[in-house]
Structures are given as C-alpha cells and as structure tokens.
Amino acid sequence: MRAKEITIYDIARHLNIAPSTVSRGLKGHHTVSPDTQRKITEAAAEMGYQTNSFAVGLRTKRTNTIGVIIPRLNSNFVADVLAGIEKVTNTFGFNLIITQSLESREKEIRNVNTMFANRVDGLLLSLSGNTKDIEHLDIFFEKNIPVLFFDRVPSGSIPSVCIDNEEAGYRATRHLLQQGAKRIVHISGTHDINVYADRFKGYLRALNESDIAFNEDLLIIKNLDENTGEETADSIIKLKADGVFAANDISAVSCMNVLKNHGLKVPEDILIAGFNDDIISRSVSPPLTTIHCPAIKIGEAVAQTMIDHLLKNIDITSSIILETELIVRESTTR
C-alpha cells in the first residue's frame, strides 16, 4: 500500500500554525521569521514532505522559476550580478535556471529554447558577443512571457537594466587627459557588443573635448583577457603612448604587468585605467584606477523589476540606468 502523501496541512497541524505560514516558510518568504522557517523545514524533512511542483504550476500557472542567460560565468562582474539576482529571487521564493551562451548566438538560441521548454515565468538576458538580433526571443514575446535585458542589451528602446557606458568611458578618458596624458591607447572588446562600443564613444568624446584628433592606431581590439598585455605591450611602446584606458580590469592589469616588465614605470611613464572595479584592481601594484560598476545592484534591480511584474503586474516599460563612479588610485596619480 502506498504511504499517505504529506501535505502542508499535516505540517501545519504538527506545528500548530497556519497552512499559509507553512507554504511561505517552505519558499523562504521574508514574512516568515528565520526561526519559524527553520522549524517548518525541519518538520517537513522529518515527516517526508515533498513539494509537488507540477501541481503548483497547474494551480498558479507559474513555475516560480526565472531563467537567466549570461555570456560567461568566469568573471567577477557576472558573479556579482548573479549574487544580486539570487538575493532578490530567493526572498520572494523564486528559483533560478542559469545558463551561459559562451559568446555564441547559436548557443544562446539553444538556451532560450531550453528556458521556454522549462516554462520559466520570465527571462533575464545579457546578450552574447555575436548576437545581432533578437528574433529567437519571438517564442517568448508571442506567449507574453516577460524578457528583461541587462548589461549587454539590444539596440533601440527596449526595457533593460544597465549603466551609462558612454559616460563612464568619457570620465575615465577625461581623467587620464587631466593627469597629463596625450596619446591614450584604448583597449576595447569587439564593438558588436554595445558596452564596448559605448565605452569607445565616451573615449572619443573626451578626446574631442580636449581638441585631440582620434588616431585609429591607438584603438586596439582584443578579447580583454589575461593575455592582453602580451598581445599589446609592443604596440603600446612603439606608439609612444603615455596613457591606457582598458575596457575591463583584467586586461588593464595584464597590460600594466607586461609594460612594467619592459621597464616602464606606472604611473611615471604611463598612466593606466581599467573598468569594473574588480578585486584585482585593488591587489595589483600600483593599485588600478578604474570605473566602479554596481554589479550587485544591477542584479538586484533586474530581478526586482521582473518580480514586480510577475507578482504585482507592474508593466516593464522603461529602462533603469545605474550610476558608476570613477575610482582614482595610484596607477594614474603622479
């Protein structure tokens, strides 16, 4: 004979609390105290309670699951964004399915289809490096399943959560100019990705404001990884650059270390600035001037916007642009 299935009503009777409290406690809802949540989860485990996700989905027409697609997991920025997303979704009892596109549009399409097949309630998406259109999201749009972009976003007036990359690039370059640099190399990622294209626009604006003509030799497009220094040092030296603005911190630090090995002093001979304010920017010598990007707040904002839409029916109609900050450290202080 099949054993009787334990329900939230059995747990409620056992603990002498309301079934609704048990339900919220099992989801980790913030309205239930940590002590009560602990008692509920312990009782559920002892009594052999199992959540019937299929039944819940049929009843609510929700899976309480949000999909997240990111370009890559191996970056401090992405890790912090995910931490912000998880903090908010956990508070409201939502689960996450997280996949990475590995900078491939084809893999991003497969990820989108996987999310759709798993009936996610909403999708949070940062585009891959070679995604030039969003036609593969039509299956979501046609079913009115909300999609919200963050960080790497498509062109046009599509709701998203991001920073003003052009303004941040402008401030970093202007700082180098104010510190006396005249020949500033900009190490960028592919301009097919909006964040790098916009940081380059900021670089151009700062040069133009200082009446310095853009020299295309000073723009170096790379993968922005730990090999950037080895790949760019010779060019930077031959160009007689006195400043470097790199579009992320790992490439800036890589460049700094290799240039130092070539005998250049930072900041005496060359000024170097990065982007993101990763941990590495504070541990390198000299510490790196960089743009602080509020990654955790981006994650919190994109998750909260999606949950407000799902639970409160608040339309997602506008974009959220979060503030960045120029962090000046010894790599640009003479």
Strand partners, 263: none
Residue 296 confidence (pLDDT) = 97
Q: Tell me the domain boundaries of the chain.
A: 8-51, 64-163+295-322, 165-293+326-332
Tokens of 9: 């009503």
Tokens of 253: 């630090």
How is domain 64-163+295-322 classified at the architecture level of CATH? 3-Layer(aba) Sandwich (3.40)
Residue 31 confidence (pLDDT) = 86
Q: How many CB atoms neighbour CB 72 within 10 A? A: 14
Between CA 331 and CA 334 the distance in angstroms is 8
Between CA 224 and CA 190 the distance in angstroms is 10
Residue 7 confidence (pLDDT) = 86
Instruction: Answer yes or no: same fold for 64-163+295-322 and 165-293+326-332.
Output: yes
In CATH, 165-293+326-332 is 3.20.20.70: no
The fold of 8-51 is: 434 Repressor (Amino-terminal Domain) (1.10.260)
Q: Is 278 exposed, middle or buried (0-12, 13-18, 19+ CB in 10 A)?
A: buried
**b/e burial code for range 179-203 (CB count within 10 A of at least 16 → b):** bebebbbbbbbeeebbbbbbbbbbb
If residue 68 lies in a helix (H) or strand (E), which one and from where to where?
A: strand 65-70
Strand partners, 326: 291
Closest among 227, 230, 203 to 214, alpha carbons compared: 203
One-letter amino acid for residue 105 of the chain: R
Instruction: Answer yes or no: pTM beyond 0.75.
Output: yes
Asked if residue 306 lies in contact with residue 125, where contact means CB atoms within 8 angstroms, the answer is: no
Phi, psi dihedral angles at 221 (to 5 degrees): -100, 120
pLDDT in tens, the chain (334 residues): 445 678 888 899 999 999 889 888 887 788 889 899 889 888 887 887 766 544 455 445 678 999 999 999 988 999 999 999 999 999 999 999 999 999 999 999 999 999 999 999 999 999 999 999 999 999 999 999 999 999 999 988 899 999 999 999 999 999 999 999 999 999 999 999 999 999 999 999 999 999 999 999 999 999 999 999 999 999 999 999 999 999 999 999 999 999 999 999 999 999 999 999 999 999 999 999 999 999 999 999 999 999 999 999 999 988 999 999 999 999 999 8
Q: Is 60 exposed, middle or buried (0-12, 13-18, 19+ CB in 10 A)?
A: exposed
Half-sphere exposure of residue 81: CA atoms within 13 angstroms, side-chain side: 27
Residue 58 confidence (pLDDT) = 44
Q: How many residues does the chain have?
A: 334
Between CA 253 and CA 24 the distance in angstroms is 47
Between CA 275 and CA 77 the distance in angstroms is 10
- Asked whether the CA dihedral 195, 200, 204, 209 is positive or negative, the reply is positive
Between CA 31 and CA 91 the distance in angstroms is 9
Tokens of 215: 């020299």
Residue 67 confidence (pLDDT) = 98
Please list the alpha-helical segments (H only) found in the chain.
8-15, 19-26, 34-47, 53-60, 76-91, 105-117, 138-142, 165-178, 194-209, 228-238, 249-261, 280-283, 295-312
